[in-house]
Structure 1
Amino acid sequence: MNQITEFCTGCRTCEQLCPKSCITMEYSSEGFIEPRIDVLKCVDCGLCQKKCPQNISNQLSLPKGIYAVRNKNDNEILRSASGGVFVALAKYFLEQGGACVGAAYMDNWNVGHIIVKDEKDLPRLQSSKYVQSDTMQTYTEVQKLLKNGIKVLFSGTPCQVAGLKSFLGNADTTNLLTIDLICHGVPSIKLFKSYMTWLEKKMGGCIISFNFRDKSAGWGLNYRIKIKTRTKTKTKSCVIDPYYYHFLQGNTYRECCYRCKYCKAQRIGDMTIGDYWGIEEIMPEFFSKKGISCLLLNSEKAMSYISLIQSFFYIRSSTLTDVMKHQHNLLAPTPRPQLRDTVYQSLNNEDVNYFFKEVLGYPPNCKAEFLSMLPEWIKNQLRRILFRLKNR
């Protein structure tokens, strides 16, 4: 057996199910993890192909409840990408003696799924990481937790949730709640780490903190960097950053993302969360610069949490049509752009400075460039002045 599927998402289901442990995950030339089969150990049982979530029909459900939500805790919402849904549910699970699983930054800017059992570690799982997270051995670890009667909250991309469900099979999942994210697609860890190396050289210091969804200027698409040698922070807009700009353009995703079978209204997770973009037009009275999430409850299990959700969040009923207006990946996968043909070849062949300046160039934006050069204290002063003028 040479191939499990041509649409591999790198979920690791096959690796952790293989009865002969003959499957290992290795990095492709583009920097995405893929299964490699040791043909000398393989006994052609076919389990990997049968259980691969890309090869089977997954049980998807239309949402039973659709809401706009905002966390009531200002500290929690500030550290979250949008409305702070995950962290509130995670705290509840931890208070019940449970465990939470999600993506976290690790050593050397690797990104992987970790299991958190202590509230002090929850900030590692908050906010967005716009790169593919390695699920590592979390499927096996979740299986053990469930067997021991421990509640588990698992958050990930739809294909990662599908991988977990396929891995668990017919196991008792009463204590498992899954959250899938509205996903555009994922760049490779190789691209992300190259970007961080380039960014450190550009900034002239070691980056000790990075957040794709900084909210110092309000809810939006700004990122914040903290540099060790300067003990300073810098905030920039997505439109003047090569990695961020091309992520949003869909130029750097894994090949399977352009054919994603989870980019639809029917969902794989018990819950679906994402930014409620356009809420200011749909529900202007509910809009907040702190961030609003859309929350889709897709299963009876998820619906059983509605009273809990109402205690954690400010909440408004919504419709799928309204959410879809600005969340196009609930309708279809991101279209594959022409640049995707060569972008990873260029990453492998070009100098890193040339690559991020020329290959991943972006249109000029004088306003964003000017604002990025201002010290943070000046930008904060300007925000306060504008706020006072607006509220006269």
Structure 2
Amino acid sequence: MRTRVGIVGAGPAGLLLAHLLAAEGIDVVVLERRSRAHCESRIRAGVLEQATADTLTAAGVGDRMRAEGHVHHGIELRFGGEGHRIAFDELVPGRAITVYGQQEVVKDLIAANLANGVDLRFEVEGITLGGIDGEPHLQWAGGRLDCDFIAGCDGFHGVSRASVPAGRLTAYEKTYPFAWLGVLAAVAPSAPELVYSASDRGFSLHSMRSDTVSRFYLQVPPETRPEDWSAAAIWDELKARHETVPGFTLATGPVMSVDVAAMRSFVAEPMRFGRLLLAGDAAHIVPPTGAKGLNLAVADVRVLARALGEYYRSGREDLLDAYSATCLERVWRAQHFSWWMTTLLHRFADADAYDRRLQRAHLDYVARSRAQATALAENYVGPPYEG
């Protein structure tokens, strides 16, 4: 087979790229090693920046997001027995976040691609990349796809970045000394907006997926396994970390799923290697504290789709040449914000009394300073796109 762009990975990055390119008449084939059911059910991020929501709407895949998603105009920082609202509507007027699960975005994109006749192939085993400096191709058990470009959108553990020859990639990485226990529960949210709670017991986040389903996270040791926590222990700890302000009671309900997410930061530079272009988690990951992973993937794809579209319209390669530098400017801004939020809110085991007092002073400053609150707000809702 032959196509113009071979896309590895049917996550948000690969699916959105396929949809945008197909809309411009550019032939694509998407290869995914997992099943469609797995891709549509994997629970991941659920906070969409303003620019991400606008992108999905402009691409014609935002109808269900607008009908079922929850638009939030602020978040709460909870510490020291008080709650402090960071009001996006006051600090960054006209910009908000939309709470809408990543798996729902994936469902919408799969449906749109199939409706448009895009060649999506699931459960493709043994994918390998070749010819990235000359004649790019993808091979798997029983098949081969020749293409002009390969878009590596297959995540942190995928084959795309691993196919880059030694010495051509610089990796920047930081691992945090804790993990997040993620809990999905069949219970109505106890707060109207996301609550970031910092306490002596560790960090905790109260989020939501719908009017009847809530999502919670607990800071836990990095070696934690989901089976280490019973439902009773989960609710006890969530209550201890969230019921720290007068009048707040955390509603409980059946636990639907429990998972553990490692906390790390990673950036691969550059993001282009000949005819191979990395996007999303294949090129960079952030700790989920700042809710940037999915949003960075969408930002990458916007740049890449524009660059490939211009290449096929006019033969210009300057946008492709600038792809990595263009994306990395936004990536490093998000890296800093995610690191900042993580260090601001989590309890570090090796922190001494001085470190803890500094952390509390920083939290007080964010809560009391309009300038600091504005910096948090504009980074959280995400910068607008340029060009």
Q: TM-score normalized by structure 2? A: 0.27
Give the structure with the higher percent strand: 2
Q: TM-score normalized by structure 1? A: 0.27
